[in-house]
């Protein structure tokens, strides 16, 4: 007599059956596309470590955004590459700063597109740190004031969501108060709540010219070994008024996404970061992996882990593949 067993394969026999029992779906509404805006004219400079990703000047931005809209992607997140940097990151909160101008231009041309403004100083500081520096130390409370100015200037320029990525303590509360005081009570905060000090940001720092000139970010970004601490970070952001929570990077941190999913009902964002993109692109270019299959499997994994939304450089490709399905 054969031992009894369960026939799991019954539900895998045809594509239609598999569709019916599928638990997780990636949809175009889940995707957020990052854009790097830069000074100058007629600039569309590909980032060497991120094939398919470009630094764009304002006069080349709308064409890119029209493609995003045509693909049905609901939102973009903006990063700026200023012409001049200084030790207080003035470009971040200049009302004529590169991101502020991009926001005004895009809000006017495409009012339906959701504009998310990354809120940090590192692209604008000469030392490349996310806050003010004194005697080699990254100052917390003194930095908050500048982040608030940045957030208010971004909201004034047309940002629909402020996404602070700086990992200073108290940043969500400070920005919430600042926005409320300036008449932006309705502007949500997408907090980079759980952001690790990760080597996967390498290509982004090339794209955004934001590598720290000395030291590293380990006194403010989280230790990759910690997940209980991630819950504490999320708890303080929730208490301070975060509307969205985020985990960054994604692939090496799927358990962290799951932990936050189970602890909080808030919309949860996974940031599929530059190094994760670069690895897939490099392997695909060598013919070592099937890019489309690997990207969709990766995004599905983030959703399955608990993400509602994914910031990803693959967004345009994924949207195209989803349309073709």
209 binds ligand PBG (CB under 6 A): no
Q: Which of 204, 220, 253, 264 binds ligand PBG (CB under 6 A)?
A: 204
50, containing H or E segment: strand 50-57
Distance in angstroms (rounded) separating the CA atoms of residues 167 and 217: 9
Q: How far is the CB of 274 from ligand PBG (least distance, A)?
A: 3
Percent helix, strand and coil across the chain, each to the nearest 5: 45, 20, 35
Interface with ligand PBG, residue 94, by CB under 6 A: no
By CB under 6 A, which span of 175-183, 198-206, 230-238, 281-289 interacts with ligand PBG? Answer: 198-206
From CA 319, how far away is CA 87, in angstroms rounded? Answer: 40
Taking the C-alpha atoms of residue 299 and residue 24, their distance in angstroms, rounded to an integer, is 10
253 binds ligand PBG (CB under 6 A): no
Neighbouring residues of 105: CB distance < 8 A, sequence distance ≥ 6: 58, 61, 62
**Shortest distance, CB of residue 165 to ligand PBG, whole angstroms?**
4
Q: What mask, x for binding ligand PBG by CB under 6 A, covers residues 214 to 243? A: ------------------------------
CA distance 68 to 58: 16
Other CB atoms within a 10 A radius of the CB of residue 74 amount to: 16
Angle formed at CA 304 by CA 299 and CA 296, multiple of 5 degrees = 20
User: Does position 168 bind ligand PBG by CB under 6 A?
Assistant: no
**Which one of residues 37, 99, 120, 247 is an interface residue with ligand PBG (CB under 6 A)?**
120
Nearer to ligand PBG, 125 or 187 (CB): 125
- Determine which one of 85, 248, 281, 303 is catalytic: 248
How many angstroms separate the CA atoms of 145 and 178, rounded?
Answer: 9
- Rounded (10°) angle between helices 274-285 and 291-305: 150
Between 164 and 188, name the residue whose CB sits nearer to ligand PBG.
Answer: 164
Q: For residues 46 and 59, which CB has a smaller minimum distance to ligand PBG in the complex?
A: 46
Interface with ligand PBG includes 98 (CB under 6 A)? Answer: no
Closest CB 127 distance from ligand PBG, rounded Å:
13
Distances (CA, A) of 107 to 75, 118, 156, 179: 12, 16, 11, 19
Peptide bond into 294 cis (omega under 30): no
Answer yes or no: 195 catalytic.
yes
Task: Count CB neighbours of 20 within 10 A.
Answer: 9
Name the residue nearer to ligand PBG (CB basis): 55 or 165.
Answer: 165
Question: For residues 14 and 314, which CB has a smaller minimum distance to ligand PBG in the complex?
Answer: 314
**Nearest distance, CB of residue 236 and ligand PBG, angstroms:** 18
| Binding segment (CB under 6 A) for ligand PBG, from list 54-62, 114-122, 225-233, 293-301 | 114-122
Residue of 32, 147, 234, 273 that binds ligand PBG (CB under 6 A): 273
Rule CB under 6 A: which residues touch ligand PBG? Answer: 118, 120, 122, 130, 165, 201, 204-205, 210, 273-274
């Amino acid at each position: 007599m054969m031992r009894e067993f369960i026939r799991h394969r019954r539900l895998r026999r045809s594509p239609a059956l598999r569709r019916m029992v599928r638990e997780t779906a990636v949809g175009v509404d889940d995707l957020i596309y990052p854009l790097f805006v830069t000074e100058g004219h007629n600039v569309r400079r590909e980032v060497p470590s991120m094939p398919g990703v470009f630094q764009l000047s304002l006069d080349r931005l709308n064409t890119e955004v029209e493609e995003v809209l045509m693909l049905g992607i609901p939102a973009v997140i903006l990063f700026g590459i200023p012409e001049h940097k200084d030790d207080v990151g003035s470009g971040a909160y200049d009302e004529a700063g590169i991101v502020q101008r991009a926001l005004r231009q895009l809000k006017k041309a495409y009012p339906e597109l959701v504009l998310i403004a990354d809120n940090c100083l590192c692209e604008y500081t000469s030392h490349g740190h996310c806050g003010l520096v004194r005697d080699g130390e990254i100052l917390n409370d003194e930095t908050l004031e500048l982040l608030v100015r940045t957030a208010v200037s971004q909201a004034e320029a047309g940002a629909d969501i402020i996404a602070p990525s700086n990992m200073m303590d108290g940043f969500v509360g400070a920005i919430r108060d600042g926005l409320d005081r300036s008449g932006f009570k309705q502007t949500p905060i997408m907090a980079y709540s759980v952001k690790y000090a990760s080597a996967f940001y390498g290509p982004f720092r090339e794209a955004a010219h934001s590598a720290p000139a000395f030291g590293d970010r380990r006194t403010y970004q989280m230790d990759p070994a910690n997940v209980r601490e991630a819950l504490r970070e999320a708890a303080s952001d929730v208490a301070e008024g975060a509307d969205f929570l985020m985990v960054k990077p994604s692939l090496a941190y799927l358990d962290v996404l799951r932990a936050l999913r189970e602890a909080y009902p808030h919309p949860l964002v996974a940031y599929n970061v530059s190094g994760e993109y670069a690895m897939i692109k490099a392997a695909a270019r060598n013919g070592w992996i099937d890019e489309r299959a690997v990207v969709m499997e990766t995004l599905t994994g983030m959703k399955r882990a608990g993400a509602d939304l994914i910031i990803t450089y693959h967004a345009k490709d994924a949207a195209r593949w989803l349309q073709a399905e």
